[in-house]
Amino acid sequence: MDRRAALGKSFAELVMARVGEGVGVLCFLFLLPVLPFLAVAAAVSSLIRSDPDHPEPSYRPDWAS
């Protein structure tokens, strides 16, 4: 049985599906090694970020008081 006939897709559509799968795999392989660094950066950022309940004092010039 012809796979293209069974799926109802042309040869170009099947090729584009394979290209899309390849691009998806390449994106996954690129992101996989980067994810631990992103997780560490997010954790450090959350520790360093100031507490929103106690905001930093804003600058007020002397003449504003």
Residue 1 lies in a domain: no
Going by pLDDT thresholds of 50, 70 and 90, the confidence category of residue 1 is very low
Residues whose CB is less than 8 angstroms from the CB of residue 14 and which lie 6 or more positions away in sequence, other chains included:
3, 4, 7
Total count of domains within the chain: 1
Residue 65 lies in a domain: no
pLDDT confidence of residue 49? 76
pLDDT confidence of residue 64? 67
CA gap 17, 24 in Å, rounded: 11
pLDDT confidence of residue 52? 65
The model carries a pTM of 0.47
- Structural domain boundaries enclosing 30: 17-46
pLDDT confidence of residue 57? 67
Residue 55 lies in a domain: no
pLDDT one-digit tens code per residue, 5-47: 666 788 888 889 999 999 999 999 988 999 999 999 999 988 8
Residue 23 lies in a domain: yes
Residue 42 lies in a domain: yes
